[in-house]
Structures are given as structure tokens and as C-alpha cells.
Amino acid sequence: MSDKKNNQESMENKPENEPSLITRHSALVTASDELSLVTDHSSLVTVFEVTDVIDLHTFAPRDIPAVVETYLEEARAKGFPTVRLIHGRGKGVQRARVQSVLRRTPFVASFQDAPMEAGGWGATIVWFAPEK
């Protein structure tokens, strides 16, 4: 039986009032007024509390732009003035993808490589524009 069919069957047998954590794309869930990010990674669902730091190593490279977009929205909603995105050093591919998302996000005031003690060019610090 395929994973898709298993997921559909498990959704059909679930009580109607129970929130679904199964998603094909990044989404947010509210549990006890705590915002958590839910993302699909190799047919597994990952849920974590949104803080001012996210380590993107745990996500599939193809999911990084969507994860970053959702994370930025929720981190800003939680009131963080700045966040740190850990993307790793490598060849700079993920860094470029992350910074591409940052350039097109209207509420990002600025960003730069993290200081050496916070990851250097393996992480990016983001400052949010004040809410209007």
C-alpha cells in the first residue's frame, strides 16, 4: 500500500474535531497558543516551536524556500525583531536560496551573514521591518 493511500486512510479514520498535522507543504498549527511549524520531509511530519533560530539542515533542500517563508511570517508574528537562519557553509547554494527568499520578503528590513561566533557565512541574521 502506498504512503499516500496510508495517509488518506488515516485521515478518514480520524475524529472530525482532531486537528490534522499531515500536510504536503509547510503549514502552521496552533497548540495551546504556541505556534509550531509543520513540514513534510520524506513523508515524515516535523513539528517544532517557532523560536528566533531555525536550523535548516533538518529539511529537504527542495523544501527550504517554503520553510523559510513560513518561518519568517510566524517568527515576525511572535514579535521577534531579528532571527538567525542556519543554512550551513557548503558551496553556498542553500545560503543563496535563503537570501533569495529574504530579498523578496517585504517585511525583511535587512540581513547579513552571522558573526563568526554565531555561524559566520553558514548562517544569516535577519532584521524585520517594524509593523505598521
Residue where the block lists cell 533560530:
53
pLDDT of residue 22: 28
CATH number for the domain formed by residue range(s) 3-128 = 3.30.1370.110
pLDDT of residue 45: 62
Q: Measure the CA angle with vertex 58, ends 113 and 75; round to 5°.
A: 60
The mean pLDDT value of the chain amounts to 76
pLDDT of residue 131: 83
For residues 70 and 101, the answer to whether their CB atoms sit within 8 Å is no
pLDDT of residue 132: 76
User: In Å, how far are 91, 103, 122 from 108, measured between CA atoms?
Assistant: 25, 8, 19
Delimit the domains of the chain by residue range.
3-128
Sites in the chain below the pLDDT cut of 70: 1-46
Q: What is the DSSP string of 56-91?
A: GGGS-GGGHHHHHHHHHHHHHHTT-SEEEEE---TT
Q: Is the CA virtual torsion 75, 46, 69, 16 positive or negative?
A: negative
Q: For residue range 103-119, what is the model confidence (pLDDT) as tens digits? A: 999 999 999 999 999 99
22: nearest Cα among 66, 14, 31, 51: 14
27: nearest Cα among 62, 73, 58: 73
